[in-house]
Amino acid sequence: MDNFTLTTVEEFEAATNRLLETGAQVGADSWQQRVKNQTPHCKFGEEGICCRICSMGPCRITPKAPRGICGCDVHGIAGRNFLRFTAGGSATHSDHGREICHTLHVASPDGNYQVKDPEKLIKIAKEWGVETEGKDIYDLAHEVSELALLEYGKPFGTQRWLKRAPEKTQEIWKREEIEPRAIDREVSCALHMTHMGCSSLPEALIRQSLRCGLSDGWGGSMCGTEFSDVLFGTPMPVDTEANLGVMEKDMVNIIVHGHDPSLSEMIVKYAEDPEMIALAKSVGAKGINIAGVCCTSNEVAMRHGIPMAGNFLQQENVVLTGACEAIVVDVQCIFPALGPLSKCFHTKFVTTSKIAQMPDSEFIHFSAETAGENAKAIVKMAVENFVNRKPELVHIPDMKQKSTVGYSFEAIVKTLDTVTNSYVDVTGTTKPLVDCVRSGVLRGAVAMVGCNNPKVRPDTAHIELMKKLIKNDIILVVSGCSAQAAAKAGLMDKRAKDLCGDGLKRVCELADIPPVLHMGSCVDISRMMILVAELAKDSGWDINQLPVVGCAPEWMSEKAVSIGNYVVATGIETFLGVHPMVKGSSVVDGLLQGGIHDWVGACYHVELDIDKLGDAMIQTIEEKRAALGI
């Protein structure tokens, strides 16, 4: 196998333990310790049966006290909590998308941001009925971005992007009254419904949870993905490396962390500025090394091949290497712990967004208008900090894997086109992929997404499930921190084809792809929605008939719940390795794990045993194949 082996979770853990020794030496706190301090968790919170919605409470439901002071029962309370959780996630993703629209609105030929994919912009404009003929590309960008921004608050109608779904799916959404209206309206409506004295009917609360989720996946997130591509380029396959070994001992290391590529793109650009490189050399460094954490990492890896230092539960590790000059963050999934931790080292913890302000950080307000000067100031600060490194604390684990990333929907279609000469008549479609599935060369696909969560041994579920699935000829499309787990292990190295079943191995060889395809960050799950929509159209099957399932084995955030809701509502069976906080209500849990199937043709499946979770996915894929007669 050309000396190729996967990196094991045990090796990840040994590297982390060595870094924690450095942490102990300097009196640093760690998430591992905080988990111990917080365990056992509050049962009422964990089961979703604590209500803090008004100040008569908090009310906690027990057999002796089956109703809150207002009379709400356990099902109403768990349902309201679930809807509020969803609204938090939908608002977060969608606001990220809104920021990208604003950035596009200030794009100009001589400004901080340009249009890098005019073709995609024109395609979207045509889709939205905007006249493109003879129009300056920047005028078009401003017009389309304004239309996109109006999607957030439009008084009438539903989301424009819904038209991308197959008609059957659109009919289901209409029939079930879950077509998302204005994005902000669905979030507002969720908060209104869950206010004291409004909805306590579980069915109504779960129906709005699906609608609010759909306003994210087929609304705000899709804006985030599509307009990021317009601004920064649609990802195409590119080689990179992953894990902490991508940090460089003799270079200035700047870690970018968070989600919005508007910041990280600029940091990448200014790190290549000859003036900054000269400055780095003048302070004794060999140059400037940028690496990413969490979804920012996915964004810059997919577009520039910037290496990926790690995922969610590895964010403290980059500081613990003692070789991080600056960790620069924007929004979402950033541990406030980075403030005090960075104080134990020479690391500058730089916050940049008014949305995510934290103690013990250096705040440099980053805006689209001043992006260039902000990025330059941040890079300069990091470079000048190199001299403050304490060599005795530096330890970079010698651990990294090669990865090929950047499989946007367009890249997947293009890759298939180049290898399937016999399909000259279907250029630009997913038909070759459909044929692989129909013939059984590929049994199906799993969209694996989501975070790490200390409730699951970090990265184990992602990696073990992926290994099991590819062995069974099931191709993976992945995003978020799941993508980084795969990359760190080596599953995005093309040589990982040797771990696949014969069918998937053949596909990997023909298409020259790894068996686990990196589709991007958490907003980019909208790319997966486009992929399943096109697969359904090209196959003639409905989305809920496709041998495709979703999986978030280590999820933890509100965004993940919003994602889960739009994936399920799109008709994709979704498998979870962490139970949603609704266990206290048999009715809400029953709806999520069964009842909603009657509405949208899919539901959640929760299984904490990872091996059984994998078996259940394979079984569902095989059942779908049998139902299709393939």
Binding site for ligand MSK (CB under 6 A): 259, 294-295, 312, 333, 450-451, 480-481, 521-522, 557, 559-560
Closest by CA to 187, choosing from 310, 294, 90, is 90
User: Minimal distance in Å, beta carbon 89 to ligand MSK?
Assistant: 8
CB 158, min distance to ligand MSK, A: 26
CB 217 within 8 A of CB 566: yes
Burial classification of residue 1, based on how many CB atoms lie within 10 Å of its CB (0-12 exposed, 13-18 middle, 19 or more buried): exposed
Within 10 A of 174 (CB to CB), how many other CB atoms are there? 12
176 C-beta neighbours (distance < 10 Å), count: 16
CB of 52 to ligand MSK, least distance (A): 23
C-beta separation of 284 from 355 below 8 A: no
Residue closer to ligand MSK (CB basis): 295 or 617: 295
Written as six digits, the tokens of 82 are: 């679930």
Shortest distance (Å) from residue 557 CB to ligand MSK: 4
Helices (H), 151-260: 167-175, 183-193, 202-215, 221-232
**Which of 74/294 has CB closer to ligand MSK?**
294
What's the min distance (Å) between Cβ of 556 and ligand MSK? Answer: 7
Please report how close the Cβ of residue 537 comes to ligand MSK at its closest, in angstroms: 28
Task: Compare residues 81 and 521 and give the one whose CB is closer to ligand MSK.
Answer: 521
- Rounded least distance, CB 311 to ligand MSK, Å: 6
Q: How far is CA 451 from CA 149, 294, 474, in A?
A: 28, 9, 21
519 phi and psi, to 5 degrees? Answer: -100, 0
Cα first-last separation, the chain: 33
Which residue, 268 or 556, is less far from ligand MSK as judged by CB? 556
DSSP sequence for 19-80: HHHHHHHTT---HHHHHHHHPSPPHHHHHT-EE-SSTT--EE--SS--B-TT--BHHHHHHH
- Are 214 and 178 contacting, i.e. CB atoms less than 8 angstroms apart? yes
Of 162 and 487, the one with the shorter C-beta distance to ligand MSK is: 487
Q: Shortest gap between Cβ of 125 and ligand MSK (angstroms)?
A: 29
Indicate the residue among 88 and 547 with the shorter CB distance to ligand MSK: 88
- Residue count of the chain, please give it: 630
Q: Is the Cβ of residue 481 or residue 491 nearer to ligand MSK in the bound state?
A: 481
Residue 428 · residue 417 · CB < 8 Å: yes
Contact 295, 92 (CB under 8 A): no
Please say which residue, 193 or 525, places its beta carbon nearer to ligand MSK.
Answer: 525
Q: Which two tokens stand for residue 130?
A: 């905007």
Contact (Cβ atoms closer than 8 angstroms) between residue 52 and residue 179: no
Q: Which is nearer to ligand MSK, 341 or 523 (CB)?
A: 523
| CA 612 centroid distance within chain | 24
Please say which residue, 259 or 400, places its beta carbon nearer to ligand MSK.
259
**For residue 464, which of 444, 445, 448 has the smallest C-alpha distance?**
448
Amino acid at 521: S
Picking from 510, 509, 501, 535, the residue whose alpha carbon sits closest to that of residue 422 is: 510
Minimum separation from the CB atom of position 596 to ligand MSK (A): 23
Q: Is the peptide bond before 58 cis (omega within 30 degrees of 0)?
A: yes
Write down the least CB distance from residue 486 to ligand MSK, Å. Answer: 12
- Minimum distance between the CB of residue 255 and ligand MSK, rounded to whole angstroms? 14
Q: State the nearest-atom distance from the C-beta of 480 to ligand MSK, in Å.
A: 3
Alpha-carbon distance 304 to 297, whole Å? 10
Closer to ligand MSK by CB, 314 or 544: give it.
314
Query: Which residue, 404 or 557, has its beta carbon nearer to ligand MSK?
Result: 557
Looking at residue 262, its amino acid is S
Q: Which helix (H) or strand (E) holds 478?
A: strand 474-479
Query: Amino acid letter at 385?
Result: N
- Other CB atoms within a 10 A radius of the CB of residue 238 amount to 17
Q: How far is the CB of 9 from ligand MSK (least distance, A)?
A: 17
Cβ nearer to ligand MSK, comparing 259 with 348: 259
Q: Nearer to ligand MSK by C-beta: 179 or 459?
A: 459
Q: Going by C-beta distance under 8 Å and a sequence separation of 6 or more, which residues neighbour residue 321?
A: 19, 244, 247, 253, 394, 395, 396, 397
Shortest Cβ 627–ligand MSK spacing (Å): 31
- Ramachandran area for residue 500 (φ above 0: left; ψ -120 to 50: alpha; else beta): beta
